Every structure is written in structure tokens, then in C-alpha cells.
Amino acid sequence: MTQEAPQIHTLGALKASGYQPKSIQEELRNNLMAHLKAGKTAFAGIWGYEQTVIPQVERAILAQHHINLLGLRGQAKTRIARSMVGLLDPWMPIITGSEVNDDPMQPISHFGIKTVAELGDETPISWVPSADRFYEKLATPDVTVADLIGDVDPIKAASRKLTYADPEIIHFGMVPRAHRCIFVINELPDLQARIQVALFNALQEGDIQIRGFRMRLPIDIQFVFTANPEDYTNRGSIVTPLKDRIGSQILTHYPETIEIAQKITTQEVHLTPEQEQNVHVPELARQLVEEISFAARESAYVDEKSGISARLSISALENLISGAERRSLVTDSGPTTIRLSDFHSVVPAITGKIELLYEGEQEGADRIAQLLIDEAVKRVFKEVFPKVDKVSAKDGSGPYDPLLLWFVDQEGVDIHQDADDTTYHELLDSIKPLDALIDKYASAYPEDARYILKEIVLWGLVSAKKLSRTQIGPNTSFQDPYGAYFKKI
């Protein structure tokens, strides 16, 4: 429940309450200290950083540093910055009408100083909630000094009949308006060098100058910058004097385990109530989704410098569930469970989120997406089932020999992506050797993963070149690679 604003409306009442001004960095530090002593965290829901990034951010806050979060896309940099709002006081007093959040007891603007001088203890006070103390700007090449710092406003001068020597004609930019707030500049290297120079004084001396006015505006801001290492070579760079003024540079990273990646995806995925009710997602399917991202980060076809965002897994899971939902609607068969054949639905989620190297461009984005899915399945297959020997045992005692013989004797199987659950189950159940493999090697998996595991066996044998797979539209055919040839003979 949101705490109500204090019932203090004048400067005199604020003084009587015992209020003492403090900088935003002192405020963040004090509240973080209280959190740490109480065993709480302000960075809940940011998984995988508990022993790496989060302690470094906390140390930077305790040191009252400005922070640069350096990492590839999709590494929760902006989320970390936004979470810092949780370390602010619930409410902040300002002089009513101030454009720059003037502290009633330490005003910095011409308006604030003038108001306190004229009204004294009767100066009206307003309260700003912590949620409104977060400012964010995406750095783009068209950002100007006027956008960030401010400029003279000729319209204001004309309408108020003020001279150009009057500080009242100044229009403040985002930086002074973020006084006593957290100000995040995303993708800092994209900011032109001359604009980065305009931040020097704000970072080091805590003041700004606008259009030659002889004024010192001692702003108080917690700066948080985010940057992508790729930007340093492809688009721009952080000028050295600006880097020198940023107290702490913290490197972020991707999830180190599948389990952590699954936590992130589960937390961030957006599903409708109908999807949650009608589409069951086995844990094994969630693991396969994450394996795709891990495979992409290691692929020789994908540019690792560009990074593979966590958004790939999130979008892939959303597409996967939507594909199963569509099948359920088309067949009018009610609630359904994710199948391995549903993974063809995730290709569009992959192609838009990977940057390909030359070899990958030659293959094509769709082909690389399918290869990544195949690699993910292969990894799970190797984790669950025994290695496929290149040469089958002469006595037919190999773990896969009964299944391979089944395919020699049969025409193969066609798995239709839009087949209803009953048809799909009957088709896979007809391949009797699959049951023996699942019972022997995958008995620890829950029942809801049984049919995915059956398909994984088939895909795994395809990767070992023991079976062939053909994709024609929504149909996936599995056959003995040589059986059809010998039958023709």
C-alpha cells in the first residue's frame, strides 16, 4: 500500500518537522544501508546477478558514485537502474511550482530563491513521490545540449516582456529538471561527443551553465549510464574525460545456467489467461527454449559481439505457446500440451533477434534458426539418452536398434503440426520401441514430458544420421534413410 504524502504544506511546518536536506546519493546510501542490515534487497527479480553485479552496484551506491552499466543487449541494465527507485524516500518536498525540484531549505533556481526570499516560512510546499523521481533518456545522435541542459526561450521572453538578461527566460533541459532524482542515459556511446562534453560539469562539479548566464545551478543527480561494448566500435564511444568522471563501471553478463535463464523467462513472459489455462508447458519445453539462446551465443554463424538478448527466450516461449494455442483452436480440441513439433513456431522469434556473421548470412536467417533449434534438441538428447554409436551392434543389442529396425520395416511416420492431441498421441504410441527407451532412460521425467521425449529421440537420431527428417509445410516426416532406397531395388 502506497504511503500517503506528509500533511506539511509550508516551509515553516517543514522546519518544525525536523526535516534535514540531504543529497540524493546520501539518501540512496542511507536507505541501502537500512536494506542490507534488514536483509532486504532493492533489486528483487533480477536473477543471476546475486553474487556478481548486484554487490558491485551496492558498493557503488555506498561509495556515492555515478554508475555506468556496461554489457550486451538484454542484460537487465535498465531494469537495475529502475530498481534503484526502491532506495529513495517515499516522498520528497519541493517548492510548489518549481521546475527543478527546488529543496525548500536549499533552493537552487532563481524562482526558488526568489520565492523563499519573498514568502519565508509561508513558502508553499508540494510532495513528489519516489516513482516520479526517475528520469530516463535514450541517447540518440539528434540529442542536443538544449535537450539535456537547457536554452534561452525567446517565446517566454516575448510573452512575459522580459529582457534577455533576465534568468526567468531560461528553459531548463532534462538534467536540471532531474535535480534530486535518478537520471538514466541509455546507450551513452550513441550520444555525440560534443553532447557528452556538456555533462562534464554536471558530473564533477555538480553545476550547469546555460547560454552564458552567470549563474551556478548546483544540481544534485544520481547518474546511471548504460552502454553496449559493441557501440565502442560500431557507432560511437564514451569520451575519455567523461569515463573518468563516472565513479564505477560495472560489467553485466548473460545467465550462467539454464535454471537462471528459465527464472528470467518465466518472470518476463506475457501470457493471456486463456493461454495459461489452455496450454500446458512442460518444464522440458522451457528448458529447450533456453537451450536455443545458449546455442545461439555459441554458434559460429551468430555474431557474439552483438549478443543474444534474454528477449529471444521470452519471445520464443510466447510464440511457442501461441503456436500450440492456434492448433487447439484450429482443431477445436480444447486444452493442449506443448510438443516438440510446435518449436517450428519459434523461428520468427529467433530470426529477428540474432545478428549473423557472413557465413550465417549465406545460410539464411530461417535456416540458422532451425539449426539452433536442432542444436538445442541435440543437447537435451545427449543429456537424457545414451550416445548413438556410429556402427550398430551386430546382434542388435544397441539401445536404439529396435527403434531403427522398426523404421526399416515401416514406411516412417508423418507428424502433422496441427493434428489434435488424440491423433498425435496415437501416432507416437504406435512406435512401440520408443516406450522402452523412455521407460529405461527418462523415467525420472514427469508424465507431461513423455511425448516431447519421444520426439526428442527421433530428432536425436536424425542428428546422428540414423534417421532422416523431411519438413514439408506443417508435416514433419521421419524415415529410415536407406529403407526407401532398398525397397525400390
pLDDT digits (tens, 9 = 90+) for 419-469: 999 999 999 999 999 999 999 999 999 999 999 999 999 999 999 999 999
The helix (run of H) or strand (run of E) holding residue 284 is: helix 283-298
Query: How would residue 167 be classed by pLDDT, with cut points 50, 70 and 90?
Result: low
Q: CA of 35: how far to CAs of 78, 175, 287, in Å?
A: 21, 28, 34
Is residue 456 within 8 Å of residue 415, measured between CB atoms? no
Q: At 335, which amino acid appears?
A: P
CA-nearest of 295, 320, 265, 264 to 452 is: 320
Distance CA 35, CA 281 (A): 37
| Domain residue ranges in the chain | 11-251, 258-488
pLDDT in tens, 69-96: 999 989 999 999 999 999 999 999 999 9
Q: Is the pLDDT of residue 103 over 50?
A: yes
Q: Is the pLDDT of residue 293 over 90?
A: yes
- Predicted confidence at residue 410, as pLDDT, reads 84
Which ranges in 299-334 belong to alpha helices (H)? 310-331
pLDDT in tens, 134-144: 999 998 888 88
CA-nearest of 344, 321, 329 to 269 is: 321
Distance CA 268, CA 293 (A): 15
Distance CA 308, CA 297 (A): 6
The helix (run of H) or strand (run of E) holding residue 378 is: helix 365-384
Q: Which residue has the cell 525567446?
A: 154
- Paired residues of 333 in beta bridges: none
Is residue 198 within 8 Å of residue 149, measured between CB atoms? yes
Helix (H, G, I), strand (E, B) or coil at 178: coil
Query: How would residue 489 be classed by pLDDT, with cut points 50, 70 and 90?
Result: very low
CA-nearest of 249, 232, 231, 242 to 195 is: 242
Q: CA of 55: how far to CAs of 47, 58, 68, 261, 420, in Å?
A: 13, 5, 15, 20, 50
> Per-residue pLDDT averaged across 179-190, rounded?
92
- Predicted confidence at residue 376, as pLDDT, reads 96
Residue 202, C-alpha cell as written in the block: 554536471
11-251 CATH choice from 3.30.70.100, 3.40.50.300, 2.60.120.10, 3.30.70.330: 3.40.50.300
Question: Which own/partner contact pairs does 470-473 have at CB distance under 8 Å and 24+ positions apart?
Answer: 471/344
